[in-house]
Chains A and B, each alone.
Chain A
Amino acid sequence: MRFVARQPKEGINVSDTHPLVEAGTLVVGLTAIFVIIAVVLIFMVEVVLYFVSAEDEAKLFDGWLPEDLVTVSYTDERLLETQALVDRLVLHWPDAPYEFRVEIDDSEQANAMALPGGLVIVTQGLLDEVESENELAFVLGHELGHFKNRDHVRALGRGVVLSIFFAALTGNDVAGIGIKSADLTLRSFSRRQEARADDFGLQVVNSEYGHVNEAWHLFERWGGKDDSIIDLVKYLSTHPDSGDRAATMKRHAEEKGWQSDGEITPLSW
């Protein structure tokens, strides 16, 4: 028998799966797994929410502040006035289970947040943007609406649960995760939640001033302004499109027969 040198067969050590097929399978498969886990976690948040009442929540988070929140001085005039405005607005929500506390975050980005235990956070950016008390009252009323519907706990719960999940996934230190402002950006409300909060905000503003003039003025300005795209995008990351929103509010006020003109209360700053 004569030995004939032959080439070895190709492909013994190399899978014949096309790299793009491999990539596709992994991306689709992993996405599906993550989505399922995320949905289960979100469902668990709903279950917890069902068993913890607003009163329990208020007790649990009494005096609580996010760890890394940078606030302004307690003697800041704007803080005192915003707190007073909230206290006045709450009178139109008779059996509110919370004692609302206002804090001003020193962020330049215009935003307002509802946090567990009746904590209302407004940013310096927002206070710089609002042109009248009526505008500010609506934003605060909107946040009260989130408290009423308990969107804030739902959203925060999701944010925290999901950030723990992603930390575990990427191998970060899970124990080091508290409720930080950074997590708050993970919060997102659905359009339906936002619309309900808007309705409640309008109702509160109407009860307080007897009209809803200027309530959506802020959103009209944001919706129409082109040079503020950056701010707008940032705001949109937690809230829906400003232009649509103003239109929806206008329609809602007309349906309810609320006056859309009336005296504007100026801000002291």
Chain B
Amino acid sequence: MNFGMPLLILMIAYFIGTHLEKRHFQSILKREDEARGFPVVSFDTMPDNWTASRSDLVSGSVVISLDYFKRVIAGLRGLIGGRIKTYEPLLDRARREAVLRMIEDARSQGYDAVFNVRLETSRLANATRNGKGTAGVEMLAYGTAVKFASRFANAQ
């Protein structure tokens, strides 16, 4: 009786959460495929013989929240330690979504590549619980988008 409600919420959270995760991964795979030829690298300099006609900061950010099921399982895991396996797909989705948004930002402005890509996260505190809980995590991807003037100027 006492366990009924939380268990029901847990099940609903699991089914909805799993469904949304699956759909998100499908979207990510599709968009990653479209962005396949677009260079996104972590170098902070371009090769010497490349020249850029213009460049700008581009960024992509996403805020994700945990579902109740993941939160409960992670809570149990927290008792004994180890990999919080239910969080891994969540953060994987966030990372890839942020990078995709950054790419989409760069492409929409006509850039050819993004250099010096960095990823950052920050935790959003839960206002209802005195900032103790986690409402969600922000994943931010940013980098320097570059439009090439002549990519292989010296080589030619």
Give me the interface of A with B, judged by CB distance under 8 Å. 5-7, 13-15, 17, 19-20, 22-23, 26-27, 29-30, 169
- Please state if A26 and B76 are interface contacts (CB–CB under 8 Å): yes
| 8 residue pairs from A and B, CB less than 8 Å apart | A13-B91, A14-B92, A19-B73, A19-B85, A22-B85, A23-B76, A23-B86, A27-B76
Confirm or deny: B69 has a beta carbon within 8 angstroms of a beta carbon on chain A.
yes
**Cβ contacts under 8 Å, B155 to chain A:** none
Give me the interface of B with A, judged by CB distance under 8 Å. 14, 18, 29, 32-33, 36-37, 69-70, 73, 76-77, 79-80, 83, 85-86, 88-89, 91-92, 95
Q: Measured between C-beta atoms, what is the minimum distance from B110 to chain A in Å?
A: 20
Q: How many A-B residue pairs have CB under 8 A?
A: 44
**Cβ contacts under 8 Å, B92 to chain A:** 13-14
Our pick among B33, B36, B88 for the contact of A15 (Cβ within 8 Å) is: B88
**Cβ contacts under 8 Å, A17 to chain B:** 85
Q: Which residue of B lies closest to A10 (CB)?
A: B29
- Please state if B36 and A5 are interface contacts (CB–CB under 8 Å): yes
Bound-state CA distance A19–B29 (Å) is 21
Do A7 and B14 contact each other (CB < 8 Å), given the known contacts A15-B83, A19-B85, A26-B77? Answer: no
**Cβ contacts under 8 Å, B80 to chain A:** 26, 29-30
Bound-state CA distance A14–B79 (Å) is 21
Q: Measured between C-beta atoms, what is the minimum distance from A232 to chain B in Å?
A: 14
Do A15 and B85 contact each other (CB < 8 Å), given the known contacts A7-B33, A7-B36? Answer: yes
Do A22 and B73 contact each other (CB < 8 Å), given the known contacts A13-B88, A14-B92? Answer: yes
Bound-state CA distance A14–B29 (Å) is 14
Bound-state CA distance A19–B76 (Å) is 13
- Please state if B73 and A26 are interface contacts (CB–CB under 8 Å): yes
**Cβ contacts under 8 Å, A14 to chain B:** 88-89, 92
Give the most central of A5, A7, A15, A23: most B CB within 10 Å: A23
- Please state if B14 and A19 are interface contacts (CB–CB under 8 Å): yes
Q: Which residue of A lies closest to B79 (CB)?
A: A30
Bound-state CA distance A29–B81 (Å) is 13
**Cβ contacts under 8 Å, B73 to chain A:** 19, 22-23, 26
Q: Which residue of A lies closest to B82 (CB)?
A: A26
**Cβ contacts under 8 Å, B77 to chain A:** 22, 26
**Cβ contacts under 8 Å, B36 to chain A:** 5-7
Do A22 and B86 contact each other (CB < 8 Å), given the known contacts A7-B36, A13-B92? Answer: yes
Bound-state CA distance A156–B73 (Å) is 32
Bound-state CA distance A20–B18 (Å) is 11
Q: Measured between C-beta atoms, what is the minimum distance from A35 to chain B in Å?
A: 15
Give the 8 A-B residue pairs with the shortest CB-CB distance, closest first. Answer: A15-B85, A26-B76, A13-B92, A14-B89, A14-B88, A5-B36, A14-B92, A22-B85
Q: Measured between C-beta atoms, what is the minimum distance from B112 to chain A in Å?
A: 14
Bound-state CA distance A26–B70 (Å) is 12
Our pick among B18, B70, B76, B85 for the contact of A30 (Cβ within 8 Å) is: B76
